[in-house]
Amino acid sequence: MKLYYTPSTCSFAPHIVIRELGLDAELRRVRLGAEPLVVAEGRDFRELNPLGYVPLLELDDGRVLTEGVAMLLHLADLKPEAGLAPAVGTPERDELHRWLNFISSELHKTFSPWLFHPEYGEQAANVARERLAKRLAVVERHLADRDYLLGDRFSVADAYLFTIADWTRPLKIALDPYPALAAYLERVRARDSIAEALRREKAP
């Protein structure tokens, strides 16, 4: 299995899950831009993903998965005994899907591209910040009485939420209005999987 990633992007979420599960996966760093490149191979990344964005997961059987939510669910189901995703057909699984979709559509796509591309202008960034504040407030209320999104156990949704919500740091978005979220981010940051994924991504 190969994970195509770029540091400080949403590809960190499946990388966390790979470390949580102890899976054997090769990392392939991608340099994003107008002509995205698989760094070690000098290969045009668009040969794998025509849209040129990460993450991308190349499976052992040669199949290619794009889209982070699909990867997170696939990885969790490789080792169901690890409990990173509730069993299919349960109310808890429905709740997992709800949060994965919320993070993807309401958080991820509010942060990116609007807050990472100054060329879109300050007006677009201000609209995104206002929209984001309302959505972070939803997360704040939910985390007020629990350690993780699904209760007392870490799941793939937490790997995704941590990755996206932690973008508040480089963007200098204050978390003072969201103390439960701030505590959550520090709690997740302390997991061994986070440290290991960061170490691997910083390796030459």
Task: Say what the alpha-carbon torsion angle 77, 163, 28, 50 is, to the nearest 10 degrees.
Answer: 90
Tens of pLDDT, residues 30-82: 999 999 999 999 999 999 999 999 999 999 999 999 999 999 999 999 999 99
Whether 121 shows a pLDDT value over 70: the answer reads no
Backbone phi and psi for residue 159, each to the nearest 5 degrees, phi listed first: -60, -40
Under 8 Å CB-to-CB from 140, ≥6 apart: which residues? 177, 178, 179, 180, 181
Token look-up 């300050």 returns 122
Tens of pLDDT, residues 127-161: 888 999 999 999 999 999 999 999 999 999 999 99
